[in-house]
Amino acid sequence: MLKLLIVEDEAGIRNSLANAFSWTELGCELIGCAGSGIEALEVCLQTPPDIIISDIVMPGIDGLTFLKYIKEKNPSTQFIILTGHRNFDYAKDALNLGAAFFMLKPINYIELKTALEKLIRQLLSADKQQENKNRQEQVLRSILNGRIFSKSHLTPHVRQLLDSLNLYRIVVIEFDDAAEDAFRTQNLANYCSQILENSPVIQIRTDDSHLALLYRISSEKEKLTDFKEFLQQFQNRIYCNFRQPVSFGVSARQYGAEHLSDAYVQALRSLGRRFFTGPSSINFFSDHDLEEAALSPGDQYTFTEECEKITELIQNTSVETLVPNSPELFRSLVHPLGKNADTIKSTLLLLICSSARKIFGNDIRQINLFFRKYDYFSSVIKTDSLQYLEDLFLNVLLDLSDYFSTKNKSRHVLIDTILHFIHENYQKNITLSDISKKVYLSPAYCSSLITSETGKNFVDILNEIRIQKAIELLRDPGKKISEIAYAVGFREAQYFSITFKKYTELTPRDYREIHLKVKKET
C-alpha cells in the first residue's frame, strides 16, 4: 500500500484533508499529518512517503524548499502542492521542481481525488514495471551463466521477451583497473540505465566486477560502423562521468534465447583481449579467437635459449642501451607464445626467475632480496595489460644489470658509490642495510669494506656529512636549531646536539654564537 503524508500549517485544513477520503479504499496509508516543513522532514526520514500533499507557505521551511529537498533525496516521491496565492510564479516554480500537481485553495476535493487517483495508478504501474524489470534481469543473469530454466516458471513478460529474441549481441563492460567494487559497479549500472533508456539495450548486472548488455539488432543488414560508433560514444560518456576508463567485450551476432550463454562467453573472451589491445578498448569476438589456442612452451619454446638471450644482454649491454633494446627482446620472447594471456604471464615469470638465478649464481641473499622486492609477481597473474608485463620486464633487466655491473666493480669504485649514496640520502633515516642493498653486498661485508677503505665506520661517515651540512645551515640566524636537526637527518634535537659537540667540541648554539661574533667583527 502506498504511503501518504499531509503537510499543512493550518490545523483546520490539515484535519479536513486527513478526513476527506477513505485512504485505504484509494490504496494509500496515511502515515502522518505535519504542521510544518521541519516536522514533515522528521516523518520522511523515518518513513519515506510515496505521495505528499503540501502547502507552500509554512513556518520554518516553506513548501518549495521542502519539495526540492525531498526530490533530491527521493526523486520518485510525488507531490501535490496547495496554495492560497494566485501567483503564476508559484505554480511555475513548483512544477519546475518536480511537483505533479499545483492546486489553489480553497481545495476542490473532487479535483484533489482525481489527481490522487492518477498518481496512485502511475506509482503502481511503475512498481509493476520495476518488478518485471527485476525478474527479467534475474532470469537473464541465470541464462547467461549457463543455468537451465523452464519457460513454464517464467512470468508472461519474461517469456515474451525470450520468445521474441531474434538477432542480438552481448556486450560486457568492465573498468580497466579490474577491481571488484560492488558499489562502483552498481553506480555504473544506474548510470547506464539512464543513458540507455530509449535504446535497444537490456541491461544485466552479472557480478561485482562487470556489467552485461543485451543489444538487440533490428535488421539482418546491421551496419557495423553504426554499432561501433554507438559503443564509442557510450564508452566516452562513461569515462566523462566516472573519470575511469572502461573496456568492452562484444560477442558475435547470435539468434534466439538458447544462444544467450554462448554469446556471454564470447563477450568475456573478447574482453580478455584487452590484455593485448590495452585500456579503453572495444574488443569484438571473431572465429579466429577459437583458433588462438595456447602454444605449449614445451612444443615451440626452449627455456635455455631464451634465458641465454636475457643473461647475454644483461652481461654485455650497458644500461644506456638496455632500455631501448628491451622492448624488442620482450616481443621476441612473447611472440612464439601465441595469444593466450595466461601462457604469456606464466612463461614470462619462469623466464625471469631462471634468468635471475643465472645472474645471481650462488648469492642466496641477493636471490632472496630480489624475490622479496618482486613479491608482487602474484599481481602479474591478475594483470590485464601486456604493457604492464613489458614495464616489469624492463625493471627486472635494469635490476639484474645493475647487480652484475656492481659486482664486477673494483673496491675503490664501490666505495665511491657508497659515499655518493650517503651524500644523496643523508637527510633520510638510512642504515647500513640500505647501503648494502645498493651495492649488492651483505651488511657485514659492506661494513668491513667501508672501514678498510676509509678508516671510518658507516655511522661516523654519515654523522660527519650531517654535521658538515648542519654547520652550513647554522650560519643562517633565521633557522631554528631544531629545524636544522631534522633537515640534516636527526630525529631528535638533543641527540643532534650531543653528536654535534662530539665532532666540533661545541654545541650548535655555541657554534652559531661564535660564528656570528666573528662575522660581525670582520
Closest to 108 (Cα-Cα) out of 80, 89, 87, 78: 80
Report whether pLDDT(137) > 80.
no
User: Please, is 357 exposed, middle or buried when counting C-beta atoms within 10 Å of its C-beta (0-12, 13-18, 19+)?
Assistant: middle
Q: What pLDDT was estimated at residue 298?
A: 44
Confidence of residue 296 (pLDDT cuts 50, 70, 90): very low
Compute the average pLDDT of residues 407-428: 86
* Mean pLDDT lowest among 145-149, 276-280, 347-351, 467-471: 145-149
Residue 185: other Cβ atoms inside 10 A: 21
Q: Which residue blocks in 196-279 are alpha helix, DSSP H? A: 224-242, 260-272, 274-277
Grid coordinates given for 161: 521477451
Grid coordinates given for 293: 589456442
pTM of the model: 0.47
In three-state secondary structure terms, 282 is strand
Confidence of residue 169 (pLDDT cuts 50, 70, 90): very high
Contact 51, 28 (CB under 8 A): yes
In three-state secondary structure terms, 284 is strand
Cα distance between residue 183 and residue 191, in whole Å: 12
* Mean pLDDT lowest among 13-17, 280-284, 301-305: 301-305
Cα distance between residue 202 and residue 3, in whole Å: 31
Between 181 and 275, the higher pLDDT residue: 275
Q: In what order do the strands lie in the sheet with 28-34?
A: 28-34, 2-7, 51-55, 78-83, 101-104
Between 105 and 383, the higher pLDDT residue: 105
pLDDT in tens, 170-217: 999 999 886 667 778 888 888 888 888 777 788 787 667 788 989 988
What is the average pLDDT value for the chain, to the nearest integer? 82
Contact 215, 196 (CB under 8 A): no
Contact 337, 347 (CB under 8 A): yes
Cα distance between residue 502 and residue 419, in whole Å: 22
Beta-ladder partners of 203? 213
Confidence of residue 299 (pLDDT cuts 50, 70, 90): very low
pLDDT in tens, 226-266: 889 989 999 999 999 888 999 999 999 999 888 888 899 89
Q: What pLDDT was estimated at residue 389?
A: 84
* Mean pLDDT lowest among 24-38, 375-389, 422-436, 475-489: 375-389
Residue count of the chain, please give it.
Answer: 522
Closest to 10 (Cα-Cα) out of 82, 80, 114, 75: 82
Q: What pLDDT was estimated at residue 290?
A: 46
Contact 380, 353 (CB under 8 A): no
Grid coordinates given for 140: 537473464
* Mean pLDDT lowest among 292-301, 412-421, 479-488: 292-301
Q: What pLDDT was estimated at residue 205?
A: 73
% of the chain residues with pLDDT over 70:
88
Report whether pLDDT(301) > 60.
no
- Identify residue 35 by its one-letter amino acid code: G
Q: Which residues contact 238 (CB under 8 A, 6 or more apart)?
A: 173, 188, 191, 192, 246
Report whether pLDDT(382) > 90.
no
Report whether pLDDT(150) > 60.
yes
Report whether pLDDT(374) > 70.
no
Q: What pLDDT was estimated at residue 171?
A: 93
pLDDT in tens, 446-485: 888 888 888 889 999 999 999 999 998 988 888 899 999 9
Grid coordinates given for 192: 547506464
* Mean pLDDT lowest among 161-165, 424-428, 488-492, 507-511: 161-165
Compute the average pLDDT of residues 294-307: 58
